Amino acid sequence: MSFPVSGQAARTTGEAPTVQSRPSTADIEAGRLVTAIGRGDEAAFRELYDRYHQRLFKLALVLGHGDEQLAGDIVQSVFVTAAAKLRHIESEEHLWNWLARVTRQQIAKMRRQRHQDGTVVGVAELPECANAREPDSVLEENLDAALLLLEADERQLIEWFYFDGLSHNDIAGRLGATARAVSSRLERARARLRSVLKRALSHET
């Protein structure tokens, strides 16, 4: 992807030409992915999903105050939207901000549809510029901090199931337990995580 350099204008005024920095490898790769997705390339779409679904799930989990079902629905909706509408980005940061912005829009929409009370963090006014700084890193830090407040075994269950994609049977095999026991323990861990997240976010809203 080329970027125009205003060298000609600078030379006519006697000023030194301004040299713009070249796009990074990550920016070029992000642009390649988005262009391929625009052409309907399924392999590129799967690559986009593999790269960003975990980070988007974390963001949606925090925005949804620990509602993992809502977070999962949101992530799927974001990628459906990306397949249909994502056509051009300027950098890797631009791509992430686009995905995060759609996540915020979708979570606000779904919560309205569910007639749930309460305000979703950061949804109120979305900036028109996709590159505007948004506190996504702060929200991810909230999740990381909430996970650290769980017992070690609870945190491990959450990470295995949601972030590593292991099934109840997979986890049961690792723990030497039954799938039913894993399901019960995971439900308790989810309840604890939701409680911790709600307390943490209530201090910021």
Domain membership flag for residue 141:
no
Residues 59 and 124 in one domain: yes
Contact of 199 with 66, CB cutoff 8 Å: no
Number of domains forming the structure of the chain: 2
In this predicted structure, what is the pLDDT of residue 131?
A: 37
Residues 63 and 120 in one domain: yes
CA distance 15 to 94: 31
Mean pLDDT of the chain: 75
Residues 128 and 155 in one domain: no
Least confident of 12-16, 46-50, 122-126: 122-126
Domain membership flag for residue 6:
no
CA distance 205 to 118: 10
Domain membership flag for residue 13:
no
Say which residues have a Cβ less than 8 Å from residue 63's Cβ, sequence separation at least 6.
71, 74, 103, 104, 107, 120, 121, 122, 123, 139
CA distance 85 to 79: 10
Domain membership flag for residue 5:
no
Domain membership flag for residue 73:
yes
Domain membership flag for residue 46:
yes
In this predicted structure, what is the pLDDT of residue 132?
A: 37
pLDDT confidence tier of residue 69, bands split at 50, 70 and 90: confident
CA distance 23 to 179: 48
Token code pair at residue 15: 């000023």
- What own/partner pairs with CB < 8 Å and gap ≥ 24 does 79-85 have? 79/45, 79/48, 79/49, 79/53, 81/106, 82/37, 82/45, 82/48, 83/37, 83/45
Residues 57 and 125 in one domain: yes
Domain membership flag for residue 138:
no
Residues 95 and 38 in one domain: yes
Q: Which of 98, 133, 168 is the last residue of a domain?
A: 133
Q: What is the CATH number of the domain that holds 67?
A: 1.10.1740
Contact of 103 with 63, CB cutoff 8 Å: yes
Residues in the chain, how many?
205
For residue 30, the tally of other CB atoms under 10 A from its CB is 23
Residues 155 and 122 in one domain: no
Residues 71 and 105 in one domain: yes
Report residue 108 CA to chain centroid gap. Answer: 15
Residues 129 and 78 in one domain: yes
Residue 184 has pLDDT above 80, yes or no: yes
Domain membership flag for residue 2:
no
Q: For residue 174, what are the domain limits?
A: 149-205
CA distance 204 to 150: 20
Residues 127 and 181 in one domain: no
Of 38, 63, 61, which is closest to residue 163 (Cα–Cα)?
Answer: 61
Residues 114 and 47 in one domain: yes
Residues 69 and 42 in one domain: yes
Residue 54 has pLDDT above 50, yes or no: yes
Contact of 123 with 63, CB cutoff 8 Å: yes
Note the pLDDT tens digit of each residue in 129-179.
333 334 566 666 667 777 778 888 988 888 888 777 788 899 999 999 998
Residues 80 and 47 in one domain: yes
